[in-house]
Homo-oligomer: A and B are copies of this chain.
Amino acid sequence: MHGNSRNSMTRILISILLLGPVAFGQRYCDYVRPLTGTNKMGHTYPGATVPFGGVQLSPETDTLPYEVNGKYNKDVYKYCAGYQYTDKTIVGFAHTHFSGTGHSDLGDFLIMPTTGALQLNPGTVDQPTSGYRSGFSHSTETASPNYYSVLLDRYNIKAELTTTTRVGVHRYTFPATQDAHIILDAVYGIYNYPDKNVWTYMRVENDSMVTGYRQTNGWGRTRTVYFAMKFSKPFASYGFQNGSKKQVYKGFWRKFDQEHNFPEMAGTHIRAYFNFGTTTNEQLTVKFALSPVSTANALLNMNAEATGRSFDEIRKTGEDAWEKELSKTKITADKEVMKNFYTALYHTYINPTVYTDVNSDYMGLDRNVHQAEGFTNYTTFSLWDTYRALHPLLNLLQPARNSDMISSMLAHYDQSVHHMLPVWSNSANENWCMIGYHSVSAIADAVIKGTYKGDANKALEACIATANHDQFEGIGDYRRLGYVPEDKSGASVSKTLEYAYDDWCIAQMARKMGNEEVYNTFSKRAEYYKNVFDASTGFMRPRLSNGNFKKDFDVLNTDEAGYIEGNAWNYSLYVPHAPEAMIGLMGGNKRFVAHLDSLFTMQLPDSFFAHTEDITRDGIIGNYVHGNEPSHHVAYLYNHAGAAWKTQERVRMIMQKMYHPQPDGLSGNDDCGQMSAWYIFSALGFYPIAPGSDRYELGSPAIQTATVQMENGKTLMITAKNQSDKNVYVHDVILNGKPLNRTYITHSELTGGGELVYVMGSKPKKK
């Protein structure tokens, strides 16, 4: 067969694959299981959202006290996304949620429909009827992209949720009653410690419209969310409950009955209720627009996206948006993989989230209102997690959006009084969670791959300023000593290693931009990982400011032993930008492979698990921890030690063990899509161990075929011949008809389109 006819055949094949299951009446959305990760520690939410949507409308299943006897209530941790699958009650539906985070916030504006005698507190699990909560059953629950539905048993109310980018839409189907209520609870929140609610303000604008805002002091220290709420029919009456602390000011509000039909309320703990009469199966729709800026902007958002459109229309628009994004990557695979893949892709396209009003206004980190000129402003940057695979995935599949995300990081930098890029930012707040300055990785990755549309010089300046911020987390010592000393700044090994990688990113970016000086400076810093390597133990080990390694070295300890979310075993492998050099330090390929094998096979003592909060035993293979991020590149390191077949074996095992399309299907926090992005890359057969490089390590695809529509108009077709659960070993890789005699593939090869064929077999090909 000569070239031309091969190309024709390919085109036909692509055409068929492009149709995908849609040709048979099924949509990629149908494979998505939003409930995945809602049990235990996945911390995902099952509710409705659109791709990168600013509204995440989802059920809340409990209201635990944040403190019990003055101490943090550990059970609260399960509720980072508001929902736990095993719970029996629903307290309502709130409009903002993080997806998969390991700390939390949000849960703004809980709405609950009820009937009968009005109750304004949520009640408890033990005594649900002591409040307004309702029991529910998974048998009546539906969760799909941009749609969630459940029957509230107690009230016989069917609840349905959908969204636009900036508006949450509720539809409640009521029984016939003269006592139907919609409760708007602004007391509820996620991680809701007693003083979290700083201020709430509400105005009843007319008989069907309410506006206001809620200001909180949570993970985001100074955070305000504005809203406009529109009912599909006028309420008969309404009122407020003000549970605020005593407002002793001798005001003149006392003149009024502020609790009944009085149109304005303010305080720290406010609940509102709206009363209706309903006929049998009457549907009441509530449209709830958000804005980071003002109630006027929330109204603008409402009018631009939801006014005049039915629940069903809005639902369909959002589903279509999901289908459009998901179908840019069409795969064929066995059913479990199909579900895993599109669920993972769904979870990767949730974050970061849009944080701009329809008129381009957004709230800046400096607490001034800014205009996003030439980009959409995003928030929710969980960068310690997402620089690894989520941003590289977006950089490959959503480069325009990823470029806007980088513009958003640079706007953050401009507005930062610390003159730093984001570390972990949300809703115009920096919460400083985790370590490193990993914005630079995402930025360098985009600059190097040519996808960042903004000013690269400015981006480089921001990266350098951030990396030279001596007051931040030991950077001053790091620059002076070549490592972060553990006696000065904890998790010092993790910091040293991650700073060295980030510095390498800056160097790569500078090289690409022709800035030799910066390249040299940061290339030197990129080697500082060597300064914490302890040849005597073969591990990266905490050092003190006097130059000595710290004594009392426990290679399994993850608890303030020099590391964070990982122990010496896992973190010692974190030199993603120089794996060969690292392998050299650790004794060469053979010893390194044996070391990795030990990692995956060793037996951990029970005591280990006492310290891991957000992963389960299921998230661990030997001492390899997939439930936390620092090891996400580890399985791919075999490639660099001449044992690619072990990479292939391990990544297939991890995919199979750690991902299931069920509520308990995630082995740790999804972390704003990082866990899921790992899956997408791995299932497609490659993974970027060092973003900022143009290389992806080849692994073992879990799909049969994949057709990836690039934004540049090119199409990449991936075929995994003979792939099966047993045929996990790659025998050949052929790119556009030519064997690829290496264990990596480059960004331009992927985005150039064409045909990538993996030939699989049941036996390892050891060379």
Evaluate contact between B417 and A366: CB separation under 8 angstroms: no
B residues less than 8 Å from A263 (CB atoms): 417-418
Task: Tell me the residues in window 513-536 of chain A with beta carbons closer than 8 Å to chain B beta carbons.
Answer: none
Contact A215 to B201, CB < 8 A, known contacts A264-B417, A368-B295 = no
B251 touches A369 (CB 8 A): no
- B248 A193 Cβ-Cβ under 8 A: yes
Counting CB contacts under 8 A, is A765 at the interface? no
Central interface residue in A222, A256, A262, A369, by most chain B CB within 10 Å: A222
Minimum-distance CB pairs A-B, first 5: A252-B432, A296-B368, A203-B417, A193-B248, A263-B417
Q: Is the CB of A411 closer than 8 A to any CB of chain B?
A: no
Of all chain B residues, which has the CB nearest A194? B248
- Cα A526 to Cα B342 in complex, Å, equals 73
List residues of chain B with CB within 8 A of the CB of A248: 66-67, 72, 193-195
A24 contacts B by Cβ under 8 Å:
no
- Whether A191 sits at the interface, judged by CB under 8 Å, is yes
Q: Judge if A155 is at the interface, Cβ distance under 8 Å.
A: no
Complex-state Cα separation, A505 to B215, whole angstroms? 42
| Beta-carbon contact of A432 and B198 below 8 Å | no
A434 to chain B, nearest CB (A): 8
Distance A425 CA – B570 CA, assembled complex (angstroms) = 63
Partner of A250, one of B72, B222, B247, B264: B72
Give A199 to B215 CA distance when docked, in angstroms. 10
Interface string of A191-216 (1 = CB under 8 A from B): 10111101101011100000101010
> CA A103 – CA B254 in complex, angstroms?
15
Partner of A367 from the list B262, B295, B424 (CB cut-off 8 Å) is B295
Q: Does A453 contact B (CB under 8 A)?
A: no
- Whether A219 lies near B251 (C-beta < 8 A) is yes
Residues on the B chain within 8 Å of A253, using CB: 221, 432
Name the distance in Å between A95's Cβ and chain B's nearest Cβ.
Answer: 19
Interface check A458, CB cutoff 8 A: no
CA distance A263 to B366 in the complex (A): 12
CA distance A262 to B217 in the complex (A): 19
Contact in complex: B418, A213 (CB < 8 Å) = no
Contact call A249/B193, Cβ cutoff below 8 A? yes
| Residues of chain B within 8 A of A194, CB atoms compared | 248
CB pair A196–B249 under 8 Å, yes or no, is yes
Number of copies: 2
A67 to B266, CA, bound (A): 23
Apart from A199-B217, A201-B222, 5 more pairs, CB < 8 Å: A201-B367, A205-B417, A252-B434, A294-B368, A294-B369
CA distance A424 to B251 in the complex (A): 11
Known A368-B296, A418-B263, A432-B255: A249·B219 in contact at CB below 8 Å: yes
Residue of B nearest to A261 (CB): B471
Q: What is the 8 Å Cβ interface bit string for chain A, positions 28-69, against chain B (1 contact, 0 not)?
A: 000000000000000000000000000000000000001100
User: Chain B residues near A195 (CB, 8 Å)?
Assistant: 245-248
Q: Does A597 contact B (CB under 8 A)?
A: no
Q: Closest chain B residue to A253 by CB distance?
A: B432
A 217-231 binary contact with B (CB < 8 Å = 1; else 0) = 111011000000000
Q: Is A580 an interface residue (CB 8 A)?
A: no
Q: Is A431 an interface residue (CB 8 A)?
A: yes
Does A473 touch B at the CB level, under 8 Å? Answer: yes
A296–B248 Cα distance when bound, in Å, is: 33
26 A-B residue pairings within 8 Å (CB atoms): A66-B248, A195-B246, A196-B249, A198-B198, A199-B199, A199-B222, A211-B366, A213-B367, A217-B249, A219-B251, A221-B251, A221-B266, A252-B424, A252-B431, A252-B432, A253-B432, A255-B432, A255-B473, A256-B432, A263-B417, A264-B417, A294-B367, A294-B368, A295-B366, A295-B367, A295-B368
0/1 interface trace, chain A 157-187, chain B, CB 8 Å (1 if under): 0000000000000000000000000000000
The residue of chain B having its C-beta at the shortest distance from the C-beta of A203 within the complex is: B417
Residue interface mask A412-452, B partner, CB < 8 A = 1: 00000110000010000001111000000000000000000
| Chain B residues closer than 8 Å to A193, beta-carbon distance | 248-249
The minimal Cβ–Cβ distance linking A186 to chain B, given in whole angstroms, is 14
Chain A at the B interface: SS class: loop
Question: Chain B residues with Cβ under 8 A from A262's Cβ?
Answer: 471
> In chain A between 281 and 323, which residues have their CB closer than 8 angstroms to a CB of chain B?
294-296
A246, A249, A473 — most chain B CB neighbours (10 Å): A249
Q: Please report the C-alpha to C-alpha distance between residue A432 and residue B253 in the assembled complex, in whole angstroms.
A: 7
Instruction: List residues of A (317-331) whose CB comes within 8 Å of B's CBs.
Output: none
Q: Min CB distance, A532 to chain B, in Å?
A: 20
**Contact at A252–B198, with CB atoms within 8 Å?**
no
A608 to chain B, nearest CB (A): 22
Contact with B along A364-399 (1 / 0, CB 8 A): 001111000000000000000000000000000000
**Residues on the B chain within 8 Å of A252, using CB:** 424, 431-434
Which residues of the partner chain B approach A198 to less than 8 Å between Cβ atoms?
Answer: 198-199
Quick one: which of B266, B294, B424 contacts A222, CB cutoff 8 A? Answer: B266
- On chain B, the residues within 8 Å of A266 by CB distance are 217, 221-222
Q: Once the chains are docked, how many angstroms separate the CA of A205 from the CA of B416?
A: 9
Tell me which of A219, A367, A433, A471 has the highest count of chain B C-beta atoms within 10 A of its own C-beta: A367
Bound complex: CA A199 to CA B245 (Å): 15
List residues of A (452-473) whose CB comes within 8 Å of B's CBs. Answer: 471, 473
Q: In the complex, what distance in Å separates the CA atom of A434 from the CA atom of B418? A: 47
Please, which residues of chain B bring their CB within 8 A of the CB of A295?
366-368
The chain B residue with its CB closest to the CB of A218 is B249
Encode A255-290 as 1/0 by CB contact (under 8 A) with B: 110000011101100000000000000000000000
For A205, the chain B residues whose CB sits under 8 A away are: 417
- The closest CB in chain B to the CB of A196 belongs to B249
Residues of B within 8 A of A215 (CB): 199
| Residues on B with beta carbons closer than 8 Å to the beta carbon of A213 | 367
Nearest chain B CB to A184's CB is how many angstroms away? 16
Whole-angstrom distance between the Cβ of A267 and the nearest chain B Cβ? 8
Assembled-state Cα–Cα distance A726/B201 (Å): 60
Cα distance A264–B222 in the bound complex, in angstroms? 11
User: Bound state CA distance, A201 and B251, in angstroms?
Assistant: 25
The CA of A432 and the CA of B256, in the complex, are separated in Å by: 10
Q: A249-B196, A253-B221 are in contact. Are A418 and B367 (CB under 8 A)?
A: no
Which residues does chain B contribute within 8 Å of A218, judged by CB atoms?
249
Chain B residues within 8 Å of A368, by CB = 294-296
**In the bound complex, what is the Cα–Cα distance between A183 and B281 (angstroms)?**
63
**B-side contacts of A204, CB under 8 Å:** 417
Nearest CB of chain B from residue A80's CB, rounded to whole Å: 12
Tell me the bound Cα distance from A368 to B201 in angstroms: 12
Question: Which residues of B have CB within 8 Å of A245?
Answer: 195
Contacts of A251 in B (CB 8 A): 219, 221, 431-432
Within 8 A of B (CB), among A469-505: 471, 473
Say how far A216's CB is from chain B's closest CB, in angstroms.
Answer: 10
Q: How far is the CA of A369 from the CA of B267 in the complex (A)?
A: 21
Which residue of chain B has its CB nearest to the CB of A77?
Answer: B250
Q: Which residues of B contact A294 (CB under 8 A)?
A: 367-369
